[in-house]
Amino acid sequence: MPTIDTLHELLKHELKDLYSAETQLIEALPKMVDAATNGDLRNALDKHLEVTRAQKERLDKIQQLLGEEKAAPEKKGFFANLFRSNEGEEHCKAMEGLIKEGNSLMGEDMTPEVTDAAIIAASQKIEHYEISSYGTARAYALQLNLSDVAKLLETTLNEEYEADLLLTDLALSNVNTAAGAGRSTSTRPAKKANSQTTPKAVKKSAPEKSAPKKAAPKKSSPKKAKASAKNSSPKKSAKKSRR
């Protein structure tokens, strides 16, 4: 790797890093769109995918302005050119880490509402990185009196600011509110508990209510028999003895 000994070389290095970052993001955004369930969030991510493609093309124009036109790959053999990355000469490890972190977070067991909130968080981390990177590159271009390059970088920088503000609005308007509601409770356990307790209550109460009804007729019949015997037999025997 050649030595970076001027601000101009540092600017070119920063732009190559951004080119790699945008290339990786173009591949990652469709997965975020598929994972999102909120309609407004899906639309915002889908639109930003188109904006990101335009930003990558804008970086191509900047490279041309800096005399870094896309040349034919270096002659390192057929297989070396075959596996050449479409990111260019540099690979942005920062973007790679942010995308991996986002994918890992979306792989957790979450409700759809919480997943949407997580996607916004991951997306805004990426936006903040790009805002920092494009802002730095623009400052370098202004310092080097590269006005045309600075204008193109400023256009992209403003787009990143707009994307970040849109994500914030989505989060505060409804996505975070829906995620704050939490997982809905299921009524299935309560139904199972009722079905298990009801038969036990019926079995316990049935014998207690039926026993007194059966015993009542048996207690009343002996009293009537004794009373009738006492009232009838003495009177008849007394009449017979007097005669």
- C-alpha to C-alpha distance for 31 and 25, rounded to whole angstroms: 10
Domains of the chain: 7-180 (1.20.1260.10)
Residue (of 140, 158, 160) closest to 150 by Cα position? 140
pLDDT of res. 242: 46
pLDDT of res. 3: 86
| Buried residues in 47-58 as b, exposed as e (16+ CB within 10 A) | ebbeebeebbeb
Whether 20 contacts 92, CB under 8 Å: yes
- C-alpha to C-alpha distance for 13 and 68, rounded to whole angstroms: 11
Whether 160 contacts 52, CB under 8 Å: no
Low-confidence ranges of the chain (pLDDT < 70): 1, 68-85, 182-243
Q: Which pLDDT tens digit goes with each residue over 110-128? A: 999 999 999 999 999 999 9
* Longest alpha-carbon distance in the chain: 158
| Buried residues in 10-39 as b, exposed as e (16+ CB within 10 A) | ebbbbbbbbbbbbbbbbebbeebbebbebe
Of all helices (H) and strands (E), which one includes residue 120? helix 112-143
